[in-house]
Chains A and B, each alone.
Chain A
Amino acid sequence: MSAAISVTDPFVFATAQYESGDWDSAPMLPANVIDSIARYTSLPVRPQGITVPLSSEAVFAYPLLFLTGHLPVRFTTREADVLGKYLARGGLLFVDDHNHDVDGAFHKTVREEIRRVAGPLVPLPNTHELYRSFFVFENGPPTTSHEMNGWGDNLVHEQLDAVLRNGRIAVLYSSKDYSSEWSFHPDNKRFLSVDNTKFAVNLVVYALTR
């Protein structure tokens, strides 16, 4: 005998707005990630993403937070305080370097800020459960078409970095420029032989289940 199925509160994709830098450099990314979640999973998801100021305690309502940009990042005291509490309570911050440049200003400054707030980033093994939480990525994070486009450091970044707390990812850092890779209109996925947003589904499923 089984009981009827109901739904939980829908997942909301939240982008962090910070005072320094260009936090809104990938405006199409949320819609594309939301589309992939709806397309591949049965998770309830809100059709529109949301932008949340990092200085506001409103971020606590969104346990998965996306942060990107090209420019140097310096958190204000308030932003650092809120982010520290956010991570301590169990939130997951996904940071992507829109420059895909390990010598770039964003990379250097945001990693310093993460170290200040959450501790040092360490390489995440490519065998981590993140790469199997929904789709299976045998070789770790999928390579993007932007990593060797002549801009940035022109390298293929083999691993992601992370800050782990209690065995869970608290901060996930990418130099692979998923901000460019996923920032296109969802309708254009039909022109791709392989959907390049599948890893975003893994990230959301991991955040919701681990």
Chain B
Amino acid sequence: MRAPTPNPARLLLERALRTVAWLALATAMYLASRPAGQRDQPRTVLRWSVTDVADSSATALVASLVRDVIAAAGDTQPRRITVELPAVPTSRARALLGAVDGAGITVQWIDRTQASGLALSATAVAGPSGAVDVRAAGGGAASPPLVLRDGGGLLDSSQSTGRAGWRLASVSPPLRASVGASEARVAVATPPFGRRVMLMAQPGWESKFTAAALEEAGWQVDGRYLVSPRTAVTLGALARLDSSRYAVVVLLDSMSVDVAGIMRFVQQGGGLVLSGDALRIPALASISPVRATSSRGAMAGALLTESPQRGLDAWELVAGRGASVVQSAPSDHGHVEPVLVAQRVGAGRVVASAYRNSWRWRMEGTDDGAAEHRAWWGGVLALAAGVPVAAIDSLAEGFPGDAAPYADLVARLGGPIPADSGGALAPVVARTAFAVLMDRLRAAPGLLFMIIALALLGEWASRRLRGQR
């Protein structure tokens, strides 16, 4: 007896069911054997608007980010997001991105900022003038100009090598530098600074013009000159020597001084300037940064040259161990000798200046002599006084990274990825349907088992109904 010919459609259905079972089995095996990294890296691309990036409200920013992450990831948590940035984010936005990155969600970014690296620093000048040294770096010859502004408006602009420096007599915070779309800012805070100097010297032209130069530079000079055995002339409002009252003591002559008081003052953090014959006070040798070996005469006519300091009488100095030679000058012997040397002593500083009669620089020098003499003494006192350290918060408006926001962004998230690696950059999601299907199947592992079981059961039932095993 010949078996009946099976219906071709029925055969096709059975083969299809078997194929489905095999595919389901293969999928289950694929999902089971898939590396964990691949499984956990759905591709999520977020695009932030300028408003989001520039918004200073952390609340709005967090809400925006959470909404976008949820929308992009569906019901699964993304492990990597790519952010397209149209501008350098604010400090809070950078902090938020850094926190997300640090929490395990890799944050990549595509640079649409058209910004360039920009850094800005502002340092208070050591002295009573309140001046601020500003350094900015960013841009270059082909970039937009580097523009410096403060709270009062535009200060200056520069378009040269991408680096610029200014000494500003006063600043209205915050200080901002910008190159095109990049901006860096610092809130300059001039640390509290003592403005008083005690001048210890015998009356004479050196003491007179040193005091004049210091007062012109903004220092309050106190002193007491003994003009006769019983008569002293007081300059300013002389008070007891203490580091809370005075920033610096200036000694100009090898005169009678309270050595113990001066040494205590320096140990407590005060500055001491030993100039000219004061370098020969034996009792101060232990804290002097130099040894004054012999004197050398002034070079005739040198005060009117470009090296006016050679026209001053000076001591030849030998710097001590641990001392720092700040300035040197050619000597009569043809070699360079130190003329300004500094050294730390305790919490304070001691500065040695070789020149014995600097007043001649001012009076007998060129027309610029008075300004140079003033600048010299201002520099000497800045070395001795130092600048009290200010908390970094007060220098950078509460967030240090604002001094160089682009660099801060790179430091937090790494460098930007190429724009083409972001794919089509669909507004919200740019994942393939296959990836979505795999995610769904992984989320419901019983589904594959049911598919396999139903397919095999269906095929088996069909075969049995037509008499086959």
Provide the bound-state CA to CA distance between A207 and B280, in Å: 27
Provide the bound-state CA to CA distance between A5 and B369, in Å: 30
User: Is A134 part of the binding interface, using a Cβ–Cβ cutoff of 8 Å?
Assistant: yes
A residues near B337, Cβ cutoff 8 Å: none
0/1 string, A53-74, CB within 8 A of B gives 1: 0000100110100000000000
Q: Interface with B: A39-47, A137-145, A152-160, A184-192, which one? A: A39-47
Contact across chains for A8 and B369 when beta carbons are under 8 A apart: no
Contact across chains for A89 and B231 when beta carbons are under 8 A apart: no
Of the residues A8, A134, A168, A210, contact of B253 by C-beta under 8 Å: A8
A residues near B208, Cβ cutoff 8 Å: 63, 90, 207-210
A residues near B206, Cβ cutoff 8 Å: 8-9
Provide the bound-state CA to CA distance between A168 and B229, in Å: 26
Contact across chains for B227 and A134 when beta carbons are under 8 A apart: yes
0/1 string, A20-55, CB within 8 A of B gives 1: 000000000000000000001111100000000000
B residues near A42, Cβ cutoff 8 Å: 226-229
User: Is A133 part of the binding interface, using a Cβ–Cβ cutoff of 8 Å?
Assistant: yes
Q: Interface with A: B69-77, B255-263, B390-398, B438-446, which one? A: B255-263
Q: Interface with A: B25-33, B53-61, B355-363, which one? A: B355-363
Contact across chains for B228 and A40 when beta carbons are under 8 A apart: yes
Of the residues A88, A168, A208, contact of B370 by C-beta under 8 Å: A88
A137 to chain B, nearest CB (A): 15
| With A42-B228, A43-B227, A134-B233: A2-B256 Cβ-Cβ less than 8 Å | yes
B219-272 interface with A by 8 A CB criterion: 225-229, 231, 233, 235, 253-260
User: Is A194 part of the binding interface, using a Cβ–Cβ cutoff of 8 Å?
Assistant: no
User: Is B284 part of the binding interface, using a Cβ–Cβ cutoff of 8 Å?
Assistant: yes
Contact across chains for B362 and A90 when beta carbons are under 8 A apart: yes
A187-210 interface with B by 8 A CB criterion: 205, 207-210
Contact across chains for B259 and A168 when beta carbons are under 8 A apart: no
B370 to chain A, nearest CB (A): 5
User: Is A77 part of the binding interface, using a Cβ–Cβ cutoff of 8 Å?
Assistant: no
Which residue, of A3, A40, A208, has the highest number of chain B Cβ atoms within 10 A? Answer: A3
A residues near B212, Cβ cutoff 8 Å: 90, 166, 168
| With A42-B227, A42-B228, A42-B229: A90-B255 Cβ-Cβ less than 8 Å | no
B376 to chain A, nearest CB (A): 15
B215 (CB) vs chain A CBs: closest residue: A166
| With A1-B260, A90-B212: A6-B255 Cβ-Cβ less than 8 Å | yes
User: Is B40 part of the binding interface, using a Cβ–Cβ cutoff of 8 Å?
Assistant: no
A residues near B204, Cβ cutoff 8 Å: 8-9, 11, 43-44, 208
A63 (CB) vs chain B CBs: closest residue: B205
| With A63-B363, A88-B370: A4-B254 Cβ-Cβ less than 8 Å | yes
A residues near B284, Cβ cutoff 8 Å: 3
Contact across chains for B370 and A89 when beta carbons are under 8 A apart: yes
